[in-house]
Amino acid sequence: MSTPLRLGIAGLGTVGTGLVRIVQTNGALITRRAGRLIEIVAVSARSRTRNRGVDISAYAWEDDPVALARRADVDLVIELMGGENGPAKALTEAAIAAGKDVVTANKALLAIHGQALAEAAEAAGVALRFEAAVAGGIPVVKALAEGLAGNRITRIKGVMNGTCNYILTRMEDAGLPYETVFEEANQLGYLEADPTLDVGGIDAAHKLTLLSAIAFGTRPDFNAITLGGIEQISIEDIRAAADLGLRIKLLGVAQMTGRGLEQSMTPCLVPADSPLGQLKGGTNMVVIDGDSVEQIILRGPGAGAGPTASAVMGDVIDIARGLRLPVFGQPAHTLEAAFSAKAMGSKPWYLRMGLLDKPGALAKVAEALGNAGVSINRMRQYGHQDTRAPVLIITHKTTRDAIDHAIALAMRTGVVMGDPVALAIEED
């Protein structure tokens, strides 16, 4: 019989307790599939006495997660504390230095420090796995690094933050304003302690950073992503999109072009009848285009104790089976520093502006767009709000630079009230 694989778990929050529950409930099944016993021997968390709904009395306790990583009876360290620095980083570095394999669900840590950690892990001959860091229970990391390894990936696109998707679909289904649904999501515990990580697109951009590194063989570079959150989206935008047969999604897009690697995580409009348009609630979806496979769509729960712990356990079982891969699908030292390119692809755009309710205002805006080389496809004016006249414009295909230039010119006319909203329309 093979020797057991002994786990040390740092972090006993939602995912950590979910993992303990999986090991305790499915232990015999996991042993058969892994070919060896997988057992928890030690844990670490902020509070030893907190009631977590699982029995941890049989496991050794470490107040210091770094001490957990250095225990002689721990073979594999599971980091579930979160945070790009602090204890999570110290634990991961200590585990690698001690020759321990590491499994983490920490997308921020890897998006910021992934290159250095990958190089250290590969130099030490240990595994560093992170399936649970991206899209919850969807095995998208495994799909890219293994199943699609023979493909030249041309594009990744997807909804990667369940909280944002919940907020946007709830706004549409219930006809509620953003502020109301935001507070509802907060009361339900859907938001991070710092809500900007969710609604500002930061959490989802961390995930896109990791997928881009695997897909395009580039060093993870979070700062290269064009970032935008959903805070600007109003119920008027939701209704206008529905009138046009479209839905608003916080959409990540990464593609390698002749100009370099384009990466963005911003609100976009997608056809309501498309797979992404039909995505509801906290579900995630990742669409991958490859030269041989053409297109595949992965859909599933993007968060939660069960799905995320399931992804962690999948990595643990792979390590128990002896499967060892480079962290980002190819040796870390071969990853290239990608030339970051601003998305220049031509596509239609949605513009919403509030104009002063006076003669000639609309003509001035139309002239500004024309001077920027932006052609108007259709335009709609909604009911007046005091001295403000809301206007919706759908452009013909154009670039982000042209839209930015058009908005700058429009703002100089003196007839635009407030900040305009500009959303790309992703048609395919």
pLDDT band at 272 (very low <50, low <70, confident <90, very high): very high
User: Helices (DSSP H) in 321-391: which residue ranges?
Assistant: 361-371
Q: What are phi and psi of 267, to 5 degrees?
A: -65, 135
Residue 318 to residue 157: CA distance in whole angstroms: 27
> Residue 378: inside a domain, yes or no?
yes
On whether both 287 and 157 belong to a single domain, the answer is yes
Half-sphere exposure of 328 (CA within 13 A, CB side): 32
> Residue 159: inside a domain, yes or no?
yes
CATH code of the domain containing 363: 3.30.70.260
On whether both 264 and 174 belong to a single domain, the answer is yes
On whether both 196 and 91 belong to a single domain, the answer is no
On whether both 235 and 178 belong to a single domain, the answer is yes
> Residue 362: inside a domain, yes or no?
yes
How large is the average pLDDT for residues 90-99? 98
Active site includes 207?
A: yes
Question: pTM for the whole thing?
Answer: 0.93
pLDDT tens for each residue of 116-141: 999 999 999 999 999 999 998 899 99
> Residue 247: inside a domain, yes or no?
yes
* 349-356 and 416-425 strand pairing: antiparallel
> Residue 113: inside a domain, yes or no?
yes
On whether both 122 and 261 belong to a single domain, the answer is no
Residue from 100, 142, 207, 347 carrying the catalytic annotation: 207
For the chain, percent of residues with pLDDT exceeding 70: 98
Name the residue with tokens 């206007």: 391
The pLDDT of residue 343 is: 62
* 128-129 and 101-104 strand pairing: parallel
On whether both 100 and 214 belong to a single domain, the answer is no
pLDDT tens for each residue of 330-347: 999 999 988 777 666 789
> Residue 317: inside a domain, yes or no?
no
On whether both 79 and 147 belong to a single domain, the answer is no
The pLDDT of residue 189 is: 79
Name the residue with tokens 């030292």: 333
Tell which wins on pLDDT, 256 or 67. 67
Closest C-alpha among 375, 376, 364, 377 to residue 410? 364
The pLDDT of residue 188 is: 81
> Residue 221: inside a domain, yes or no?
yes
> Residue 336: inside a domain, yes or no?
no
Domain that holds residue 407: 349-425
CATH code of the domain containing 104: 3.40.50.720
The pLDDT of residue 384 is: 66
On whether both 223 and 282 belong to a single domain, the answer is yes
The beta strands (E) that lie in 218-373 are given as 226-227, 246-257, 260-271, 283-290, 294-301, 349-356
On whether both 114 and 177 belong to a single domain, the answer is no
Contacts of 164 (CB under 8 A, 6+ apart): 198, 199, 201, 204, 230, 250
Last residue of some domain: 283, 301, 319?
301
On whether both 145 and 293 belong to a single domain, the answer is yes
Last residue of some domain: 118, 133, 148?
133
On whether both 160 and 107 belong to a single domain, the answer is no
Last residue of some domain: 266, 301, 336?
301
On whether both 156 and 257 belong to a single domain, the answer is yes
On average, the pLDDT of the chain sits at 93
Lookup: tokens for 138: 């969807």
* Total domains in the fold of the chain: 3
Lowest-pLDDT range, 63-67, 96-100, 265-269, 278-282? 278-282
CATH code of the domain containing 233: 3.30.360.10
